[in-house]
């Protein structure tokens, strides 16, 4: 695993191969709990978490070049060694994460694709939840937020196909920094729907 120190101050994860699982110890230069932010956008949530928890590592996954670069610059400007961003599709990144390696996944305000004919593009599917369960450590958590009631209901239906993940009453909400999109939605008075899941089976 290499990081490119020239373009983004070492904040991006550069893959040796799109087929080889990520070596998280090599990415962060140490063995520590890892949290993953899917669709990390401008990186401000990732950076806020990394600044307040230097003993943990934070991996963003973002496909859009402009947002990926903003996130990398934000990390580089603060000199954070515990935050990195991978520019990749979420489904592909999930495939590269070693089994039982992740402590927490965040999926915060995923693209809603409200039109019926576009809903197949939504990130949360049975395959997504099963892959998340596979990559999570035992008792690892998934934190999801959306402003879309319809998507939220669809997520809860999909959850029935992932018995390893159980919805629990969220306890740490107040402690989470607000994301850029969350601030926008709150300002607009939009509702925020939250789901916290926990992996309840041991890693096989
Ligand atoms: C609505 S924005 C939310 C960004 C951030 N989580 C926040 O709350 O401010 C969704 C983000 O997910 C990214 N995204 C959507 N689908 C993705 C995918 N399949 N793979 C990687 N990134 C994706 C988008 O490019 C965008 O930056």
Cα end-to-end distance, the chain, whole Å:
26
Q: Which residues line ligand 1 (CB under 6 A)?
A: 39, 41, 61-64, 67, 89-90, 108-111, 123, 179-182
Q: What is the pLDDT of residue 4?
A: 45
Q: What is the pLDDT of residue 122?
A: 96
Q: What is the pLDDT of residue 172?
A: 56
Query: Ligand 1 atom closest to Cα of 145?
Result: 8
The protein residue with its alpha carbon nearest to ligand 1, atom 23, reads 39
CA 61 to centroid of ligand 1, rounded, Å: 8
DSSP state for residue 60 in the 8-state scheme: E
Average pLDDT over residues 200-204: 76
Best CA proximity match to 176, nearest among 131, 127, 152, 141:
141
CA 204 to centroid of ligand 1, rounded, Å: 31
Strand order in the sheet with 57-61: 83-86, 57-61, 34-38, 102-108, 136-146, 193-199, 165-168
Q: What is the pLDDT of residue 117?
A: 86
Q: What is the pLDDT of residue 198?
A: 96
Average pLDDT over residues 138-155: 96
The C-alpha atoms of residue 40 and residue 63 are separated, in whole angstroms, by: 9
Q: What is the pTM of this model?
A: 0.95
Query: Residue 105 has which token pair?
Result: 């996944």
Domains and CATH numbers, the chain: 24-199 (3.40.50.150)
CA 67 to centroid of ligand 1, rounded, Å: 9
Query: Residue 157 has which token pair?
Result: 């239906």
Least confident range from 37-51, 77-91, 129-143, 170-184: namely 170-184
- Please provide the DSSP assignment of 100-159 as one string: T-EEEEEEES-----SGGGGGG-S--HHHHHHHHHHEEEEEEEEEEES-HHHHHHHHHHH
Q: Does 111 qualify as catalytic in the annotation? A: yes
Catalytic residue among 23, 37, 111, 171: 111
Q: Residue 202 pLDDT more than 80?
A: no
Cross-strand partners of 169: none
Query: Ligand 1 atom closest to Cα of 39?
Result: 12
The C-alpha atoms of residue 144 and residue 153 are separated, in whole angstroms, by: 12
Q: What is the pLDDT of residue 2?
A: 47
Q: Are 132 and 94 in contact (CB under 8 A)?
A: yes
Mean pLDDT score across all residues of the chain: 93
């Amino acid at each position: 695993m290499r990081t490119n120190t020239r373009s983004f101050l070492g904040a991006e994860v550069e893959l040796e191969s799109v087929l080889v699982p990520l070596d998280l110890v090599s990415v962060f230069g140490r063995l520590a709990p890892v949290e993953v932010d899917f669709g990390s956008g401008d990186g401000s949530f990732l950076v806020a978490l990394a600044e307040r928890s230097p003993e943990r590592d934070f991996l963003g996954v973002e496909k859009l070049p402009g947002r990926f670069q903003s996130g990398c610059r934000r990390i580089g400007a603060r000199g954070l060694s515990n935050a990195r961003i991978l520019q990749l599709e979420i489904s592909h990144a999930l495939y590269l994460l070693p089994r039982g390696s992740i402590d927490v996944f965040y999926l915060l305000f995923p693209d809603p694709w409200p039109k019926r004919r576009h809903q197949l593009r939504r990130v949360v599917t049975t395959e997504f939840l099963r892959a998340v369960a596979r990559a999570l450590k035992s008792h690892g958590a998934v934190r999801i937020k959306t402003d879309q009631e319809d998507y939220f209901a669809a997520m809860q239906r999909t959850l029935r196909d992932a018995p390893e993940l159980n919805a629990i009453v969220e306890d740490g909400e107040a402690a989470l920094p607000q994301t850029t999109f969350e601030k926008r939605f709150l300002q607009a008075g939009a509702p925020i729907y939250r789901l916290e899941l926990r992996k309840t089976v041991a890693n096989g």
